[in-house]
Amino acid sequence: MVRILFVCHGNICRSPMAEFIMKALVRSKGLEEMFHIESAAVSDEEWGNPIYPPARRCLSQHGVVFDTSKTARTVTVADYDRFDLVILMDSSNRRWLKRIIPDDPEGKVHMMMMYAGSSRDVADPWYTGDFEETFSDILAGCEGLLDTLVGKV
């Protein structure tokens, strides 16, 4: 089983979008039993809050089913051992993650857009207000990630 943790700043927009987009892609291929997928934040400022309403609307508009009880949580040191991959949305997340998990000896930490063939960050809708752009970035990253992993599982 491949265990994936998607990470963004607050765990109310990008990382939960990635969690549920990836779950939808995995489900569409009948691979649910091969993956465990979660999301978390590098900050605790949104801890306990639900997915941001515009992110929920965007997922719904694209037919992506999500858990309405999902609430933000913060990455822990133990998550490094619990997950095979820690996928970050932007370079700021990488800096924040180093405060929680200083080292990556197993090479588990990756940037989301690398799976979409890009070195840029996932657009942050908290600042841009453009949830469609973020959805497109995350979908491309998740599709690339799944293509990469299906050959390995």
Catalogue the active-site residues.
8, 14, 124
Closest by Cα among 1, 15, 3 to 90: 15
Distances (CA, A) of 69 to 36, 93, 94, 106, 151: 17, 24, 27, 32, 32
Q: Which residues, at least 6 apart from 81, have a Cβ–Cβ distance to it below 8 Å?
A: none
3-class state of residue 81 by DSSP: helix
Q: Which residues, at least 6 apart from 4, have a Cβ–Cβ distance to it below 8 Å?
A: 22, 35, 36, 37, 38, 83, 84, 85, 87, 145
Count other Cβ atoms within 10 Å, centred on residue 80. Answer: 20
Please give the Cα distance from 93 to 95 (Å, whole number): 5
Please give the Cα distance from 143 to 129 (Å, whole number): 23
